Structure formats: structure tokens, C-alpha cells
């Protein structure tokens, strides 16, 4: 499995669930794709490998990161144009 494969898995989960919560998807990635695609960040929390996130951003141009909810979702009309992150 490659980072591109993991990014495609994340995209399919987002399309199915409409919201992709980081806390949930990191464990799904470990279970279905392998622990080499996650790491423990400086706060001691599991996180998604940066290479996977770069691929995910590349294949999901119409997705934003909802900072307060710690999840990805599809862009809505009220989102700041061009921004990939929302408060």
C-alpha cells in the first residue's frame, strides 16, 4: 500500500460519511492500511503521516479542514473562497 492508496481510502470514507474526523480515520488507517501511515505527534496523539495528507489534499481540491471539529468536509458556499481551512 502507498500513501496515494491511503489518500484514496480517506477520500472514499469522506464521500461515504460526509465528514471525516481525524480522531476516527487515524485508527481506520492503522487497521486497514498499516501503522506506517500514522505517527504520534508532539502532543502524544496519533496523527496521519504528512505524505498521506499531501496526497489527500492533491486529490480533494473541494474539501476543507474544519479546525474546530477536527474534520474534513466538502466545501460549502459560505466557506472562504480559496481557503482549505475553516474555523
Q: What is the pLDDT of residue 71?
A: 93
pLDDT per position as a tens digit, 1-57: 999 999 999 999 999 999 999 999 999 999 999 999 999 999 898 999 999 999 999
Q: Is 74 helix (H, G, I), strand (E, B) or coil?
A: strand
| Three-class secondary structure assignment of 19-71 | EEEHHHHHHHHHHHCCHHHEEECCCCCEEECHHHHHHHHHHCCCEEEECCCCE
Nearest-angstrom CA–CA distance, 54 and 7: 9
Q: What is the pLDDT of residue 86?
A: 67
The pTM score is 0.89
The whole-number average pLDDT for the span 52-73 is 93
Amino acid at each position: 500500500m502507498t500513501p496515494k492508496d491511503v489518500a484514496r481510502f480517506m477520500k472514499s470514507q469522506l464521500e461515504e460519511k460526509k465528514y471525516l474526523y481525524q480522531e476516527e480515520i487515524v485508527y481506520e488507517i492503522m487497521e486497514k492500511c498499516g501503522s506506517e501511515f500514522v505517527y504520534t505527534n508532539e502532543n502524544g496523539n496519533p496523527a496521519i503521516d504528512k505524505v498521506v495528507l499531501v496526497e489527500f489534499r492533491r486529490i480533494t481540491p473541494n474539501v476543507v479542514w474544519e479546525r474546530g471539529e477536527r474534520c474534513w468536509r466538502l466545501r460549502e458556499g459560505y466557506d472562504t473562497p480559496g481557503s482549505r481551512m475553516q474555523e
